[in-house]
Amino acid sequence: MTEQAVKLGSRGVLVVGASVAGVRVARDLRRHGFDGRITIAGAEESLPYDKPPLSKQYLAGTFDTARLSLIEPSELEALRLDLRLGAKAVSLSAHDRIVVDDAGRELAYDVCVVATGASARPSPWGGGERVHLLRTLGDSARLKAAITPGARVVVIGAGLIGSEVASTSAKLGAQVTVIDPLRSPMAKLAGEDLAGVIESAHARHGVRAHFGVGVAGLSDDSQSVTVRLTTSEEIEADLAVVGIGVSTNDAWLAGSGAETGQGVECDEYGRVVGLAGVYAAGDVARWPRPPLGIPQRVEHWTNAVEQAATVAYNIVHQDSPVANKPTDYMWSDQYDLKLQVVGWPALSTLHCVIGEPSALPPRFAALFADDRNALSAAVTVNWPRALAECRRLLDESADVVAARDRLEALHRPAPSQLSS
Ligand SMILES: Cc1cc2nc3c(=O)[nH]c(=O)nc-3n(C[C@H](O)[C@H](O)[C@H](O)COP(=O)(O)OP(=O)(O)OC[C@H]3O[C@@H](n4cnc5c(N)ncnc54)[C@H](O)[C@@H]3O)c2cc1C
């Protein structure tokens, strides 16, 4: 498609939030031929960095900060991106098309992109220095310093981040306990039937799991932290990590005309409902999505990248915008498991499991079907090739039986294919 020169004024595009969604919008705007001014305002002082390694390789000490970089200074210069660090937006005036930061500086825009993501939900039980959250590079660095071999680590919340922290802490030689009020905390992500396979990895790696048990309270002093469970049991540790979800960074938009509190509502093109000239992408944004068609937030890296691409395209092609087509892909690395998910297993029915879920380590794919028997979601463990195949099959709207046959052929290749 030929790129058109977008007609914006001299204020150009202001991207608020300098993480993966914000950086991708800026980069994609240039890719689509936008030649005007691009300013990125980010609340943090550090150059844009990527978050997934913060609970994995960076926490484990196998990546340094250079490996987290989302954009190098040379690329910022080559793309003529005006990056303002330490500029936290505090308000937006839709009438004047101006964002004000916490130092009172005014940032004028023709088009604004909200990419301010989310923050870790603070501990509702309080706690001092021994109680950690994990969202930023600073959080991960502090946690890394605290997780020493033999340290007693209690992780509250066994979702994606909590499970990864438990896994990395165990790898570092800590004694780990993980707590979650849900009986099957990974079910939302991987589907009820498969969550057990993934969760049993905790036990295989010596991590004590208390699932289906809530936290009643927490206290800490200079020596230790004590977590009191709803069963009255107490767990003493050297540090606690609270991984109980996030809250969206949208309070700065209060009074602007956008609905705030649970993420910024957008249409299928990424335009913020109620705010002309403003788009939103990534963890902060609520876009309408299939299969339900209602605006929903998704807290996955690939979602942020895809929404950023759609927003950049639509800013450049305002007269012919395209709707976002999400692949709904996410991954997680825990223990010896590379978990990959495409689609929404929790909204589908498990059709079959191909491979060896009980092998050590497991290697399998679970296929899910919708009510028309089409493949609607897949979870793979330690089998990236199967995941790539499932993504192709989903694109083709394949029948689930045809998808099963294809994966079985991949699992047990014909003898003639074994040598290739
Ligand atoms: C530890 C960790 C591990 C993860 N692992 C995975 C994984 O394995 N797989 C996966 O799919 N996803 C993973 N994710 C999720 C993924 O990283 C997020 O979906 C992604 O970072 C969202 O990007 P974003 O740019 O929308 O928001 P964020 O990354 O939250 O960035 C928002 C940026 O905006 C800035 N900001 C906030 N408020 C303001 C303001 N008022 N003014 C200016 N700037 C502001 C923030 O400082 C931040 O830099 C992980 C997340 C974390 C925290």
Q: CATH no. for residue 391? A: 3.30.390.30
Residue 51 has pLDDT above 50, yes or no: yes
Higher pLDDT, 179 or 2: 179
Per-residue model confidence (pLDDT) at position 291 = 66
Verify that 159 and 108 share a domain, yes or no: no
**For residue 293, what are the contacts with CB-CB under 8 A and spacing of at least 6?**
none
Q: Which domain holds residue 221?
A: 122-244
Residue 269 has pLDDT above 60, yes or no: yes
**Apex CA 39: angle with CA 121 and CA 270, to 5°?**
60
Verify that 238 and 149 share a domain, yes or no: yes
- 222 near 232, Cβ under 8 Å? no
- Using alpha carbons, select from 284, 289, 302, 288 the residue that is nearest to residue 247: 284
Verify that 25 and 108 share a domain, yes or no: yes
User: How would residue 414 be classed by pLDDT, with cut points 50, 70 and 90?
Assistant: low
**Cα distance between residue 218 and residue 342, in whole Å:** 37
Percent of the chain scoring above 90 in pLDDT:
88
Q: What is the mean pLDDT of residues 78-89?
A: 98
Q: What is the mean pLDDT of residues 194-219?
A: 92
- Boundary (domain end) residue, out of 184, 209, 244: 244
- Using alpha carbons, select from 20, 37, 111, 65 the residue that is nearest to residue 317: 111
User: How would residue 187 be classed by pLDDT, with cut points 50, 70 and 90?
Assistant: confident
Does residue 324 form part of some domain?
no
Residue 60 belongs to a domain with what CATH number? 3.50.50.60
Verify that 191 and 266 share a domain, yes or no: no
pLDDT digits (tens, 9 = 90+) for 307-328: 999 999 999 999 999 999 999 9
In order of 52, 217, 289, 321, the CA distances from 391 in angstroms are: 21, 43, 18, 25
Secondary structure (H, E, C), 313-341? HHHHCCCCCCCCCCCCEEEEEECCEEEEE
Per-residue model confidence (pLDDT) at position 415 = 61
- Using alpha carbons, select from 390, 383, 387, 342 the residue that is nearest to residue 361: 383
Does residue 272 form part of some domain?
yes
Per-residue model confidence (pLDDT) at position 7 = 65
Does residue 2 form part of some domain?
no
- 306 near 327, Cβ under 8 Å? yes
Verify that 196 and 285 share a domain, yes or no: no
Per-residue model confidence (pLDDT) at position 146 = 98
Q: What is the mean pLDDT of residues 405-409?
A: 96
The tally of domains found in the chain comes to: 3
Q: Which atom of ligand 1 is nearest to the CA of 140?
A: 1
- Boundary (domain end) residue, out of 228, 244, 260: 244
Residue 1 has pLDDT above 70, yes or no: no
Verify that 237 and 253 share a domain, yes or no: no
Q: Which amino acid is at 196?
A: G
Q: Which atom of ligand 1 is nearest to the CA of 16?
A: 43
The alpha carbon of 51 and the centre of ligand 1 are apart by a number of angstroms equal to: 6
Verify that 176 and 210 share a domain, yes or no: yes
Per-residue model confidence (pLDDT) at position 9 = 87
Residue 397 has pLDDT above 70, yes or no: yes
Verify that 184 and 285 share a domain, yes or no: no
Percent of the chain scoring above 70 in pLDDT:
96
Verify that 192 and 56 share a domain, yes or no: no
Residue 17 has pLDDT above 80, yes or no: yes
Q: Which residues, judged by CB distance below 6 Å to any ligand atom, belong to the binding site of ligand 1?
A: 16-22, 41-44, 51-52, 54-55, 88-89, 115-118, 134-135, 161, 249, 252, 282-284, 299-302, 304, 330-332
